[in-house]
Chains A and B, each alone.
Chain A
Amino acid sequence: MNWIGLSTLIKREVGRFFSVYRQTVLPGLISSGLYIVIFGFTLEQRISEIQGIPYTLFILPGLIMMNTLTNASANTSSSMLQMKLLQQLPDLLTAPLSGLEISLAYIIGGTVRGFVNGILVLMLGIILTDLTVVDPFGTVVFIFIVSWAFASMGLILGQMTESWDQLAMMQNFFLTPLSFLGGIFYSIKMLPEWAQSLSFINPIYYMINGIRYTILGVSDSSVSVSFWMALILTVVFTSIAILLMQSGKKIKQ
């Protein structure tokens, strides 16, 4: 292992998003704050409680999860695509770095961004509402696993796509709908039966419910199923991202 090379690339990836925190950290906080204030506080007057939880608190885990996974995947996908388009990738591909090292560095960079964003929205929720987290350790673990899984997924997208247009299409037509349909703003028990069945094949549904359980103590699915689904997804996405990088098929000629 080229440990110095690996840690250098991690520093670069983390430094990259921190250097533009106005684009990578603040927007998630602002939009989550707006969701809490507008959706939460206004709709709470009409939707009193879901599963015994006030509506504002009910949507908070979903907002944390949405912020975590969008930021984690955006970091790796945009950084990889940018490296390709701006001729920076040859610097990595001609260096004594393996596909595994490059992949891990990118995934860790994306995980840090997803994790930081997730934790910040959690803290914002604690400040804006009277939230008490039921299982803080479990919450942190869930945010970490989801960050890693979606950083890996972003790395796959970054390698596969050739333009910003393609990348935006994947995010807007795939990731955002899955997040919203995963039950951020509602319990799937509020849906008709056929729509409930569809939710069971949406991996983000399990992640939102997993973190909802660790934060609020309630969820639509069992916490162990959510945990294992998140873990399986993490392993699958990570393996594909690394194998694709090692093959070099999408980044070399």
Chain B
Amino acid sequence: MQTPAIQIKGLTKSYGDVHALQGVDMIIREGEFFGLLGPNGAGKTTTINIVTGLVFRDKGSTKVFGKDTVKDFRFTRSKIGIAAQELSVDWFFPIEKLLYFQAGYYGLTQTEAKPKIDDLLDRLGLSGKRTSRLRQLSGGMKRRFQIAKALVHDPDIIILDEPTAGVDVELRHDLWQYLRDLHALGKTILLTTHYIEEAEFLCENVAIINNGKILKEGSPIELTRELGTAGISVQLGHGEYDFDSVLKDFSYTQNENKLHFSVKDPDSAMPKIIRQLSKADVHIQSIESKVSSLEDVFLNLTGKGINE
């Protein structure tokens, strides 16, 4: 079996009386786009901060490509690029210089770093701002700079902690596309987010974390199939109908003139339902389908929405 890019076993961490992590287990394969999904305070940032060396672990193990993140920190940290949630501030140097410093910390000379920095500034739309200080950048530009900083040493694993928190829709979609491009290049990506659609759109696998515990892990499709609640609602026109016989193969509930069908795949079920209801001469006033999402999965697992 291939060595996982990141392997976390039995990880615990407490801050005083607060048990931030209560035995987290997680495996992220090389080349995988993995999402750690959970509400604020669930333990996402603590988990990645332990992997990157910012926070001490209490118990358990954290390995990157099979090496311990404490004992072999030089190896493991050189493999990871992290874009933290908190934006840093620097008053002294232009952003291009800050990228050269960042590359230097990872052992790259200025000559080695130059093509990478030029490419990143260009790709992230920061070329025109290379001599600007961080305080002169807009919020979106700061977020892009944060990502450039994570990528400057060309890491195999990219960890992004809430990369699109507080950015506008257009930039969010630009960043999503960029992350997909990076993934296509073979990078392993670990993304923490509390945006459901972000995890659904980008991640091959997600782990749902709440109160410091991983509740469920799998691909978004698998999870929604297993724990989602898709449905079709049909509003009937006024009248007396007898449709029990034609709908005997469906699971549905009736509330006055409204029928609600529980289905796994609304797209394929909807034509069948319409066909059967037509057989019974039912007048359909309106019909709507509700596609299952990770939000439903989260709701089923925790009993509350992710942003509650």
Contacts and interface: CB of A to CB of B under 8 A. Distances in A.
A96 B107 contact: yes
Contacts of A248: 56
A90 B74 contact: no
B105 A5 contact: yes
Interface stretch (A6-14, A33-41, A205-213): A6-14
Contacts of B273: none
Contact of B104 (A5, A20, A87): A5
Given A4-B107, A8-B101, A16 B74 contact: no
Contact of A95 (B77, B91, B92): B77
B184 interface: no
B120 to A, nearest CB: 16
Nearest to B46: A253
Interface residues of A, number: 27
A94 B52 contact: yes
Contacts of B90: 86, 88
A86 B88 contact: yes
A164 to B, nearest CB: 14
Per CB-CB distance, the 5 closest pairs between chain A and chain B, nearest first, are A8-B104, A95-B105, A87-B88, A96-B74, A86-B89
Contacts of B77: 94-96
Contacts of A93: 53-54
A100 B106 CA distance: 16
A240 to B, nearest CB: 20
Nearest to B56: A252
A224 interface: no
A104 B52 CA distance: 22
A199 to B, nearest CB: 39
B78 interface: yes
Contacts of B109: 4
Question: Quick one: which of B52, B75, B87, B106 has the most chain A CB within 10 A?
Answer: B106
Contacts of B74: 2, 96, 98
A91 interface: yes
Nearest to A4: B107
A7 B100 CA distance: 12
A253 B89 contact: no
A15 interface: yes
B67 to A, nearest CB: 12
A81 to B, nearest CB: 13
Interface string B197-235: 000000000000000000000000000000000000000
Given A94-B54, A96-B77, A19 B88 contact: no
Interface in A110-166: none
Interface in A64-103: 86-88, 90-98
B160 interface: no
Interface in A181-233: none
A92 B105 contact: yes
A253 B106 contact: no
A14 B73 CA distance: 27
Contact of A87 (B55, B86, B102): B86
B244 to A, nearest CB: 62
A96 B105 contact: yes
B210 to A, nearest CB: 21
A20 B56 contact: no
A9 B105 CA distance: 7
Interface in A26-74: none
12 contacts: A5-B104, A5-B105, A5-B107, A8-B105, A9-B105, A11-B104, A16-B92, A90-B86, A94-B77, A95-B102, A96-B74, A253-B56
Interface string A240-253: 00000000100011
Contact of B107 (A2, A11, A90): A2
Given A5-B106, A90-B88, 4 more contacts: A5-B104, A8-B104, A90-B84, A252-B56
Nearest to A87: B88
Question: Quick one: which of A8, A90, A91, A95 has the most chain B CB within 10 A?
Answer: A95
Nearest to B105: A95
